[in-house]
């Protein structure tokens, strides 16, 4: 087995930082050492197979993106990143674990849905991956099947209060599923938007010929996110289920989460980079020469981008600081404009919902450190340590400690990253970064401080500089345990 | 320098745990290692000076008690623990750092107060110690002196909204001091009780011949803690000062803290073991053969023990879980019944305020892990990691990481500790634990799971089993930096 | 036309009281006069047809019960009071106006439902009556029909978030109906309980053989009332609809209402006497020789009686004082034990939901004045003035002023009323009062201060002492205007 | 005695309106009658001494301004309106009762202060007047004296949490005074601003040469109003005292009041026209040719005008609707620019605090009806009915009912009022209205709908059109009873 010493860097964890070397033996971290310790370190550099110089850089646990949708069938098309392309992009961006969503649709067997996702992912991934299970049809059979998921390493399932006729669960179904959550300790993940009400609003907007992407954001009003969040909280209170609300974007929804947490409920929430940086006015309302007002389709996702004027973004950053939100995931769900987003020309309801960000999460969040929104430690906590603890990977992922998988990133705070398509319309190189399988970037032109220099996945260097050194199938399926936060 | 390997234990930190050996070289931790690592560990046991077997036990960072009052002059007497006896008791209980309060009284120079405390402590302590500065008289001179404290390693000062005529600052003074806090980054620590109002209530109770210790708790109504907490928060909001509220005991005060934190203020709070376990009805209202209703004097402290019926204790535990409170300190301020607490016979106002707990904090809080109130990680966070980060000791204390001081505790979860006077009234040994310089214990008869087995202070074993192996002066003064939570 | 002078009493209104005579000419009040005024009053007593001596008594506007269900088909049976018997009982109790609910069921035309209710009531009533419209099936046709209701004098409609398969509207339907509410100014009345979730809980309880009436209260958990109340509020916020929540019983639901009102929404709430006096433990959990644990069936209503221990009752009284609740109605919906409540023997879900109280509301609420919960003025406001203003009867009902209908009650504060069946099981007279068409009383044995002495309905004395002097058909249909509170 | 019939108008009360004639016999209302009632009214017009035609107009109870300061000594000068000039201006504006503040200064006897105010007012007033008592020095003697005030018809006293060295009470004093409030049922009125903290801020601003009137508003930060409001609430909670907070201007203070009220405390609040219309930016920050930046001195009052940008005004209007605030008073405290406001040239702290509005309150608030902020009924409630009930004048003032004092206003909704100095700088008439004894108007140029046509004070017409028909001494001292809201 290969041995590696990452030396000279500043190791950063969720609660502190310090100068330390990290020794990797095979796939795991075996020691964290004082640099130049007479006792151990002096000879170490010579005895290991490889030394990575991290001087002047941060050494952090690999990122964990707990919310991705590779190859998700949606709205008559399929998310454009395969497990291969998506996880490779993730690796480029310093994310060494993803947790994707296996899907059970109404009328299907949960076991079959899960098997299908295993098939999609097996042997394809660049980094380790786990699954949450989407339950699109709560009934006796699926409730039974859910009880067996923990044995499969799946300790969280997702319900939708939106998308009637697709993934939607009504409150009776939510209640029954939450009872299983309470009983098994599995986390209930919730897409919290009042779908039936939103669909009425959307239909009425279309009837009024308000069909541009911008109206996607109008139809999905914050009131309907706040409402569904409150409802999920009360159903969780009634059943005793632990609840994790995905892609929180409205400040009023955060208030609901804060209220529940302050009253002792096991309620958690994530937000995504898009809700921290992008807005209804600027992106959903964007217009371009190529696409006109349909330009905004690039940023159609649900929950939608919120109004900058209403200051939701500020509230999200604050909630990340106050721990009213505990994590940042991407909800990576990429669609190309061509043939995919285009399906919604003339009717925003038909635009496939999703934004691709799995590659850029670590950089975008590090920007929050640069601007003073977050501390360095909180950056690591939000992107890696808490995701690992939240989703049953503690001890293996999310922290630099002996015995943990050697998923490590050497991050250069003095580096610089410009996001965008590497080649412009004229075919000229732009010097921008984008490895996801999309024909555009939702983050085109974003320039941020910081750069992912080296990425190790279970001890193997998979990215160095901007070069991908790994290969398809490096990533393994992760059987997850129960959440550390639910006990 | 001595080298020590603590092997076979489970290392516990604020965000996780794992099997790991800890290597100590001289005063510092130099490595955290996978047990039995072929690369390093195999030979290590033979090469170090000493191996401590921690199999089946937890290895945790030494406790940090950020609120003690050794030798504090109060009410015409002086707290009964010297720096020598108090820190030795701390060591017995797994606490390897204390932060005590130097006192400036009205009319004195801050510099002189600080110098006096240095003199009391220097060469006396069993474990490392730092100082906060009590400012009992805010005026131009003291404000000037406060600005120089960070150079002395003192990065926090305490004000009192209670005790008019003794330590009390009025709102004008609080405001001015908080402006210095904002300017320098020093933490404002606050004793948040409305002293002027409380003193009226106390006077009226005594006039009504309600003089027993129980009425100490009646006079110091929760409304007056809530009120002062709110006031401190608003003054902090106005000035931009970071605020740390000491000895929080009322659930309504916690609501105020939660509100401020959710709104983005840098506001923090500690509670103490007495507010988690003891109550107005049971302790302040206690009666004994020896003392009659004056028995309650043993538990006269401020803020007071609260009503169990009103469920403040439950709220404190919950707040420790939800992080609405961030730390547990003791407010250790011991007085003997004889000659000290006795001063208040016939008038509860004259009972010296304080309870001694510095020795038992780690065990009492571990009991919260046993009963399911806290996770193991949260125990470490509340008692060590957060105190270090809060008070400018990050990197040195509070975490087991290379480069940090080797303040370590081997904690036996299967052990058992019974607190109380080691010898009974008849002179027979009781098998109970109590090393503080008091003639009684506020915790007499408390039996808890868990036991402090070995304690290292900067690499030196100072406690083993129940034996003290260190000596006076082992502990050094800690120059503290600014809080990690204020930036 | 008959002229009447009510002389010597204390006229009580919502904002004050005073000694005054009330002069009635035909159906209307024509003057309120200083007693013995030289200018007018001196000769008046001799010139009118009738003088009613109200010395030592209160003269109040007749009660308005804005929530009754005469002859309501429910659960395979029909509420036992006809418009005839129910309104006669109302008159006995000092209530001179009821607003009943016409019903449109799913699949029926709104117009037909309304016509059916007109038919039931016309020519039958002892006192004036109006209708709200229940919309059991929101669709294009019913939405169209709703827009015409104000022309019919119906300016409020009721939706149900409970009772799936019977009256239930899903959120899409609620949203559409609320849009009509916004557009027309009609009040949206809401039965706010999460029916789909409750039905799951009820089913599970029955599966566990928990079939007694008590479990009706367990299944309909307060969390599900709080949740639905919040949801209704947010849908109202989104649409701009004015919202009136019926039969509020959970203190947490009141918190939601208070929050919405403090934030400027037009949100209102009523509670009922049963939620002020009766409880889960004492009534729903009651047991008797005759009925065993099925005794509790007498008090099965929805929302259910709440736990006394959780102190919902106290919260309701407080909310009536603070105006977080604005009205007291009865939700009068009587069923006999025999043949009706009995349907639920062995399965609480089959017990017809409802309690009969239309007769006793004024007395039960006056008891709140006696016990100091309410002021005399607030009693009148809650039972008459606000109902009139809320439901578009201002100027005609709810206040003693010239031009208003002469619906008047002479109320004896020194009288006494004992509620219960007038004849006991052995056929002996009990001296108790009960005129509703039921074989039991939900208020059996309640003794309260105060007594309804004389009742005038549009100038005609319909009750004197305990004698009914009116006749079937005295009561006329009231075309109501828009709410005074929505503008 | 003179008899008067006000005929053909719409009588408006707090809970409704209706066409009615009002019959006045001597000083009192003796009847409210249906216009043209055959029974009574037909001959009435001929038999009374005088008929006032109110066709097309509102007939409302005379306004009650519960917060005025005639001839108040303040900052080395004295409020410029005498009881004569001030009450005459009040009459012009439809206000027929004022409640002024007698002053006890520190070191003086309460009895002497009260006697002095009686002397100032007796025989001078145009309308009826009562007194609150300012307690500027709480001590044993004044506490004793307070207990006797209700016998003098004074049932409310005011404390100041601001103005240290002048009127300031510390929390110990507030507590003791509130205990008397609880004991006697007197209302505690509170000037809720943290004076000691504000004075530090003001001093620092002046040191920084920020001496313009604008900085008065900066020094008196909303945080210090919110804080003091919360403190007053908690002291009231502790003592059980009913609390009335004067001149509320910060939206955060309203939140505190709302919170206390929703939790059942007897807590009330008033705001003033200036906080509804004027702002920090526009008025305090105003500049003029004559005065430069000192122009803002015209609007220096405490609490200060708040930032329009922060939307305090909107919050005040909303609170008036939601009843989180219950009344509108003026805090009339006029000072001329010449010789008075001028004292603060170069130091805003020396500007006498106060604005004159006693004349314009009814019109300014009616403007809220015109713009849709308030209903007509709420206008009457806020300006007359609630003040009467709040301050122990129910039955006599605040409502049009038999037996009440005939304080009546015929208000023309189609009229128009332009406020301002009647003669311009060149001596030309402006057609504007201003009868207060000031050399400027805080409301210069305000044009509002509505006009006070006729004003009756205890049956006597004192204003007709713009003519004053009464005379000095018409107004009598009102012995007030306890508040209707405290029982
Ligand atoms: Zn989703
Ligand atoms: Zn998603
Ligand atoms: Zn303290
Ligand atoms: Zn202390
Ligand atoms: Zn209902
Ligand atoms: Zn009903
Ligand atoms: Zn004031
Ligand atoms: Zn004033």
**Would the CA dihedral through A410, A415, A419, A422 be positive or negative?**
negative
- CB-CB neighbours of A231 under 10 Å: 26
Q: Is B369 on the interface with A (CB under 8 A)?
A: no
The residues, ordered by sequence, that sit 6+ positions from D230 with a Cβ below 8 Å of its Cβ are B227, B230, B231, B234, D256
Chains A and D touch (3+ CB pairs under 8 A): no
Query: Looking at CA atoms only, how far is residue B27 from chain A in angstroms?
Result: 13
Of the candidates B310, B136, B309, B278, the one whose C-alpha atom is nearest the C-alpha of residue B213 is B278
**C-beta atoms surrounding D170 within 10 Å:** 17
Report whether pLDDT(B333) > 80. yes
Cα–Cα distances in angstroms (integers) from residue A247 to residues A75, A364, B264, B324, D219, in the given order: 19, 16, 21, 24, 42
Q: Which residues contact A339 (CB under 8 A, 6 or more apart)?
A: A77
pLDDT exceeds cutoff 80 at D39? no
Q: Residue B411: pLDDT band by 50, 70, 90 thresholds?
A: very high
**pLDDT at position D93 over 80:** yes
Sketch out chain B's domains with CATH numbers. 65-390 (3.20.20.140)
Contact C37, D406 (CB under 8 A): no
Q: Do A402 and B487 touch (CB under 8 A)?
A: no
Is A40 close to B32, i.e. CB distance below 8 A? Answer: no
| Cis peptide leading into residue D355 (ω within 30°) | no
The Cα D156–Cα D151 span in angstroms is 12
Does ipTM surpass 0.90 in this model? yes
- Largest separation between any pair of C-alpha atoms in chain D: 76
**Which chains reach chain C with 3 or more Cβ–Cβ distances below 8 angstroms?**
A, D
H or E segment and range at residue C18: strand C16-19
Region D383-408 average pLDDT: 98
B71 in Cβ contact with B79 (< 8 Å): yes
Q: Is any Cβ of chain A less than 8 angstroms from the Cβ of C230? A: yes
Mean of pLDDT values over A225-249: 98
C360-376 pLDDT per residue, tens: 999 999 999 999 999 99
Residues 259-298 of A with CB under 8 A from B: 261-262, 264
Of D15, D381, D403, the CB nearest to C20: D403
* Predicted confidence (pLDDT) at residue D1 exceeds the cutoff of 80: no
Cβ-based contacts of C34 with chain D (< 8 Å)? 25, 28-31, 402-403
Answer whether residue D47 shows pLDDT above 90: no
pLDDT band at residue D477 using 50, 70 and 90 as cut-offs: very high
What is d(CA B398, CA B403) in angstroms, rounded to the nearest whole number?
A: 12
A376 touches chain B (CB under 8 A): no
Indicate yes or no: CB of A25 within 8 angstroms of CB of B32. Answer: no
Would you state the pLDDT for residue D423?
92
Distance between CA atoms of residues A225 and A193, nearest Å: 4
Res B38 pLDDT > 90: no
Q: Is the peptide bond before C332 cis (omega within 30 degrees of 0)?
A: no
Rounded mean pLDDT of D152-166? Answer: 96
- The answer to whether C224 contacts A230, with C-beta atoms less than 8 Å apart, is no
**Number of H helices and number of E strands within chain B?**
14, 21
- CB-CB contact of A70 with A60 (8 Å): no
d(CA A8, CA D139): 70
Spatial neighbors of C126 by CB under 8 A, at least 6 apart, are C84, C87, C88, C90, C91, C457, C462, C468, C470, C471, C472, C474, C475
Res D440: pLDDT: 97
pLDDT, position B41: 53
Give yes or no for residue D362 having a pLDDT over 90: yes
Contact A399 B16 (CB under 8 A): yes
User: pLDDT band at residue A45, thresholds of 50, 70 and 90?
Assistant: confident
Contact B136, B106 (CB under 8 A): yes
pLDDT at position C416 is 96
pLDDT digits (tens, 9 = 90+) for D14-37: 999 999 999 999 999 999 999 976
Strand C95-104 relative to strand C128-135, pairing: parallel
- Residues near B485 by Cβ (< 8 Å), separated by ≥ 6? B242, B266, B268, B389, B390
**Nearest residue on chain C to D378, judged by CA atoms?**
C485
Q: Find tokens 């974007």 and name the residue.
A: A249
Put simply, whether B30 touches A (Cβ < 8 Å) is yes
Quick one: pLDDT at residue B110? 98
A55-81: burial string, b at 16+ Cβ within 10 Å, e else: eebbbbbbbbbbbbbbbbebbebbbbb
Q: What is the DSSP string of D360-395?
A: THHHHHHHHHHTTSS-HHHHHIIIIIHHHHHTT-BT
pLDDT digits (tens, 9 = 90+) for B253-307: 999 999 999 999 999 999 999 999 999 999 999 999 999 999 999 999 999 999 9
pLDDT bucket at A46, cuts 50 / 70 / 90:
confident
Question: Do the chains B and C touch each other, judged by at least 3 C-beta pairs below 8 angstroms?
Answer: no
Report yes or no: C112 at the A interface, CB cutoff 8 Å: no
**Cβ of C235 and A226 within 8 Å?**
no
Collect contacts of A200-208 with beta carbons under 8 A, ≥24 apart.
A200/C172, A200/C175, A200/C176, A201/C175, A202/A348, A202/A349, A203/A349, A205/A348, A206/A347, A206/A348, A206/A349
Inter-residue contact C457 to C407 (CB < 8 Å): yes
For tokens 């406060």, what's the residue? Answer: B146
Q: What's the mean pLDDT in B147-156?
A: 98
Task: Give me the pLDDT at residue C193, please.
Answer: 98
CA distances from C171 to A171, A202, A226, C253, D376 (A): 11, 14, 14, 19, 36
Whether the CB-CB separation of D386 and D14 falls below 8 Å is answered with: yes
Residue C310: other Cβ atoms inside 10 A: 16
Which pLDDT score, from 0 to 100, does residue B39 have?
Answer: 63
Tell me: pLDDT of A41 over 60: no
Residue D116 has, within 13 A of its CA and on its CB side, a CA count of 17
pLDDT of residue C41: 53
Q: Which residues pair with D454 in a beta bridge?
A: D410, D464
Q: Is the pLDDT of residue D164 over 90?
A: yes
How far apart are the C-alpha atoms of D73 and D71, rounded to whole Å? 6
Ion ligand 6 neighbours (CB, 5 A) are C 331
B343 contacts B75 by C-beta, under 8 angstroms: yes
Burial class, D350, CB count within 10 angstroms (exposed 0-12 / middle 13-18 / buried 19+): middle
pLDDT surpasses 60 at D41: no
> What phi and psi values does residue A455 have, to the nearest 5 degrees?
-125, 125
User: What percent of chain B has pLDDT above 90?
Assistant: 95
């Amino acid at each position: 087995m290969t041995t590696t010493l990452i030396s000279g860097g500043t190791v950063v964890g969720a609660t502190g930082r310090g100068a330390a070397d990290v020794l990797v033996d095979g796939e795991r971290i075996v020691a964290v050492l004082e640099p130049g310790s007479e006792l151990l370190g002096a000879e170490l550099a010579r005895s290991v197979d490889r030394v990575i110089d991290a001087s002047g850089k941060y050494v952090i646990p690999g990122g964990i993106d707990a919310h991705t949708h590779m190859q998700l069938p949606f709205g008559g098309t399929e998310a454009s990143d395969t497990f291969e392309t998506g996880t490779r992009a993730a690796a480029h961006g310093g994310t060494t674990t993803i947790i994707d969503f296996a899907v059970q649709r109404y009328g299907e067997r949960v076991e079959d849905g899960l098997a299908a996702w295993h098939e999609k992912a097996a042997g394809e991934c660049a980094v380790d991956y786990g699954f949450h299970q989407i339950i699109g049809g709560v009934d006796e059979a699926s409730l039974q099947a859910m009880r067996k998921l923990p044995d499969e390493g799946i300790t969280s399932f997702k319900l939708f209060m939106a998308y009637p006729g697709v993934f939607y669960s009504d409150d009776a179904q939510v209640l029954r599923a939450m009872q299983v959550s309470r009983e098994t300790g599995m986390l209930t993940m919730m897409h919290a938007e009042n779908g039936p009400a939103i669909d009425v609003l959307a239909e009425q907007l279309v009837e009024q010929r308000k069909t541009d992407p911008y109206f996607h954001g109008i139809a999905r009003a914050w009131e309907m996110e706040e409402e569904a969040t409150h409802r999920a909280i009360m159903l969780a209170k009634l059943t005793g289920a632990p609840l994790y609300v995905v892609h929180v974007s409205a400040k009023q929804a955060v208030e609901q989460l804060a209220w529940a947490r302050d009253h002792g409920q096991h309620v958690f929430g994530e937000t995504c980079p898009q809700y921290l940086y992008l807005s209804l006015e600027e992106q959903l309302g964007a217009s371009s020469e190529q696409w006109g007002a349909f330009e905004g389709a690039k940023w159609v996702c649900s929950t939608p981008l919120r109004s900058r004027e209403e200051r939701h973004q500020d509230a999200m950053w604050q909630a990340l600081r106050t721990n009213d939100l505990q994590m940042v995931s991407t909800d990576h769900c990429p669609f190309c404009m061509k043939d995919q987003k285009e399906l919604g020309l003339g009717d925003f309801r038909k635009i496939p919902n999703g934004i691709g960000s799995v590659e850029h999460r670590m950089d975008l969040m590090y920007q929050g450190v640069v601007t003073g929104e977050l501390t360095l430690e909180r950056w690591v906590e939000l992107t890696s340590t808490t995701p690992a603890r939240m989703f049953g990977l503690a001890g293996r992922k999310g922290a630099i400690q002996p015995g943990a998988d050697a998923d490590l990133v050497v991050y250069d705070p003095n580096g610089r990253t410009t996001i965008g398509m590497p080649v412009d319309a004229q075919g000229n190189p732009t010097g921008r970064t984008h490895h996801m399988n999309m024909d555009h970037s939702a983050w085109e032109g974003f320039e941020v401080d910081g750069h992912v220099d080296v990425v190790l996945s279970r001890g193997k260097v998979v990215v160095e500089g901007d070069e991908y050194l790994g290969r398809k199938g490096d990533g393994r399926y992760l059987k997850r345990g129960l959440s550390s936060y639910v006990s």
